[in-house]
Amino acid sequence: MTLCLSVYATLEYHTRQALIILGLTLPNHLGKEIKNPTACWIFACFAPVHALYINQIPKRLNLNGLHRKVINPSGQKYYKYYFLI
């Protein structure tokens, strides 16, 4: 449980710091722009994103502009997980 909470807190901290540094905001579940999203919201936001492999070629499903906005502050190293590079 301690490990899970540490990962959760680390995700929130790094996301919030990146948003502050870049001067960005993200919409919460009500559509209001905020600088301090929760990890729960981030996980819920990515719940509909799926990977589909056709002939060993990966395709992403349900990835939209909001997801790119969430991934962008995290940096280029996370783009490969969502087939954005």
15-41 per-position pLDDT tens digit: 899 889 989 899 888 889 999 999 999
d(CA 78, CA 40): 19
Sorted by where each begins, the domain ranges of the chain are 2-82
**Residue 81's pLDDT band (boundaries 50, 70, 90)?**
confident
Q: Of the given ranges (6-20, 47-61, 71-85), which has the lowest mean pLDDT?
A: 71-85
The three-state secondary structure class of 78 is helix
The pTM of the full predicted model, rounded to 2 decimals, is: 0.73
pLDDT of residue 13 exceeding 90: yes
Token pair 């559509």: residue: 31
Contact assessment for residue 4 and residue 30, using Cβ atoms and an 8 Å cutoff: no
Give dist(CA 44, CA 38) in Å, integer.
10
